[in-house]
Amino acid sequence: MVIKNVPCCYCLQTHSVRKYGKAKSGYQRYMCKHCQRTFQLRYVYSAYKNRGDKYPKSGVKPIDS
């Protein structure tokens, strides 16, 4: 079993963060005992992933000269 120290999104402490079940999408959720708030690490990754979709698939040529 791998236990990873996860920093809280709000106070950045690692020792106050506990696992807090999973979201519907299957992503791990965490709860910070210090802030009494829950968060998911997955927010960061999905933000990066969606960047590619902003660009049109055709009609715009990249400038490569």
Instruction: Fill in the amino acid letter for 38.
Output: T
Count of Cβ atoms closer than 10 Å to residue 17 Cβ? 23
CB of 54 to Zn ion, least distance (A): 32
Q: Which of 30, 29, 32 is nearest to 13 (CA)?
A: 32
- Which part of the chain contacts Zn ion (CB under 5 A), choosing from 5-13, 18-26, 38-46, 47-55? 5-13
Is 42 a binding residue for Zn ion by CB under 5 A? The answer is no
- Which part of the chain contacts Zn ion (CB under 5 A), choosing from 20-28, 31-39, 47-55, 57-65? 31-39
**φ and ψ at 8, to 5 degrees?**
-65, 140
Is 30 a binding residue for Zn ion by CB under 5 A? The answer is no
